Chain A
Amino acid sequence: MHQALVDQAKRGDREAFDALARMVGDRCMAIAFRILRDADRAEDAVQAALIVAWRELRTLRDSDRFEPWLHRILTNECYAEARRRSRWSTANVRLLPMPGNRDSAEISAVNDRDQLDRAFRRLTIEQRSVLVFHHYVGLPLPEVADRLGIPLGTAKSRLFHATSALRASLDADARSPSTSQERLA
């Protein structure tokens, strides 16, 4: 389905590329949002990636590889977006007291999520990308490595460190009952 549109777009057909963008845009947004954890930045990254894809489309040799090729461009735009905004976006997190009328399971679930969110934001953008492509997109590691343009060993290492950091955050939370009364603002 994509391939015919890709071939048309490669010949300079803007309508075809527009249709193609609308077919893959949501998926790109989902990936970019999960890497960047910010809707505006994710939107910017997807826009930039689609424009690069249009400009460079004729360099894509295999039309059926459009989506992996686009995802690599998208990841790169996410990296660029993260670098661009990192000057003012770090550590903008406040802790607020949590309302006391929740049961312990609910508190624990919300708290786990918040702990995970904080831990995720502390990961490098490269580690997040591997996590997202492996856990969210559901790709096996060799394909993650291919899509990100990194050696398999690097992908494994990033996944190991990212997963360890996230697990550690959940374990730390379990050992520290006082933090269960806090959540992210």
Chain B
Amino acid sequence: MTARRDPDQFINAYLEDGLTELPDRAYDAVRSEIDHTRQRVVIGPWRVPYMNNYARYGIAAAAIVLVAAVGINLWPKLGIGAPGATPTLSPTPSPLAAVPLTEGALAPGTYYADDTRLKNVTRMTFTVPTGWAAGPPQPPQGSLNQTPAILYKDVAEPGGLWLDTWLVDAIYADVCHWRGTDTPIGPTAADLATALAAQTGREPSTASDVTLGGYPAKRIVTVTPDQDPAFCDGGSFFTWPGVGPNTELTGMGANVANQIDVVYAADVAGKRLVIVASHVLGTSEQDLAELNDIIASIEIEP
């Protein structure tokens, strides 16, 4: 029999043996990729690293209150609240007076978008108050990133909110370990609501019936989990994949703990229009009210 070394020593020696250099071609490939990949914009504060359960429950309660506040604020304006409820901020938009949406800071007024950011409808008109801005109509050439937000406000501040449109053909079954879990869904707003409610990795969404731009719609609220997404596939939570090439990188992702995404899915002339209104904790009531007013002002041309 041969004299043997300590097993731990042997394991250490085994692990010491092997490659230790990344080839230059890998650095070149990374450089080439990041040259046309933009960094994700960070909105609001990141999670507190070590949070006790009381703090977690407190934040969860705050999120629920915030969601409830959004819902209460929005309900009457979408025609499902108490009769006689009157929108307070936005004037009724007139499509005739609308001007094309252009990138950058917006003067208060009524705008329309009819570019590549719109999905499944020809034109969308809405009224914005002071302080809002529009994203560029399309991503830079070669970018893998999702088309930028149509409207946003205060995204560089604690808090921040923005509005996007999406084409959704499939939903990830798990928002954290999402790779390989994309599942095709049917074409209606109800199909999307059902699929979102069944997602794992966060609290089930709640769906309600509303109208959007005069069309029947589902409103679904989702909250990004309060955990570091670095451990998730691709380092991000993802709700659904993008459509077309690079579906992984062009899907709807979220990385801010307790980010609240309010998904509006409307059935418009046999197609599904998906609008997502997002905000993070720290967003002011005034900003939320403005976002709700913008959504309430939407008019849709199929």
Alpha-carbon gap, A38 to B276, bound state (A): 42
Q: Is the CB of A42 within 8 A of B179?
A: no
Known: A30-B19, A61-B46, A170-B4. A51 touches B33 (CB 8 A): yes
Which of B2, B12, B26, B42 sits near A59, CB closer than 8 Å?
Answer: B42
User: Which of A50, A113, A117, A131 has the most B CB atoms < 10 Å from its CB?
Assistant: A50
- Judged by a CB distance under 8 angstroms, whether A6 is at the interface is no
Question: Contact between A29 and B20 (Cβ–Cβ < 8 Å)?
Answer: yes
Q: Mark B21-40, 1 if CB is under 8 A from A, else 0.
A: 11100110111011101111
Task: Give the complex CA separation of A73 and B2 in angstroms.
Answer: 42
* A149 CA to B20 CA, complexed, in Å: 24
One digit per residue, 1 when the CB lies within 8 angstroms of any chain B CB and 0 when it does not, for chain A 81-107 equals 001000000000000000000001100
Q: What DSSP secondary structure best describes chain A's contact surface?
A: helix
| A4 at interface, CB cutoff 8 A | no
CA separation between A72 and B17, bound complex, in Å?
22
Known A17-B34, A34-B18; contact A174-B1, beta-carbon cutoff 8 A: yes
User: In A148-184, which residues have CB < 8 Å from any B CB?
Assistant: 148-149, 163, 166-167, 170, 174
Say yes or no for B234: interface residue by CB 8 A criterion: yes
Residue of A nearest to B5 (CB): A112
* A43 in contact (CB, < 8 A): yes
Q: Which of A123-169 contact B (CB under 8 A)?
A: 131-132, 135-136, 148-149, 163, 166-167
7 A-B pairs with least C-beta separation? A149-B231, A29-B22, A25-B22, A58-B42, A52-B235, A108-B2, A136-B15
B-to-A contact residues, CB < 8 Å: 1-2, 4, 7-8, 10-12, 14-23, 26-27, 29-31, 33-35, 37-42, 46, 179-180, 228-236, 249, 255-256
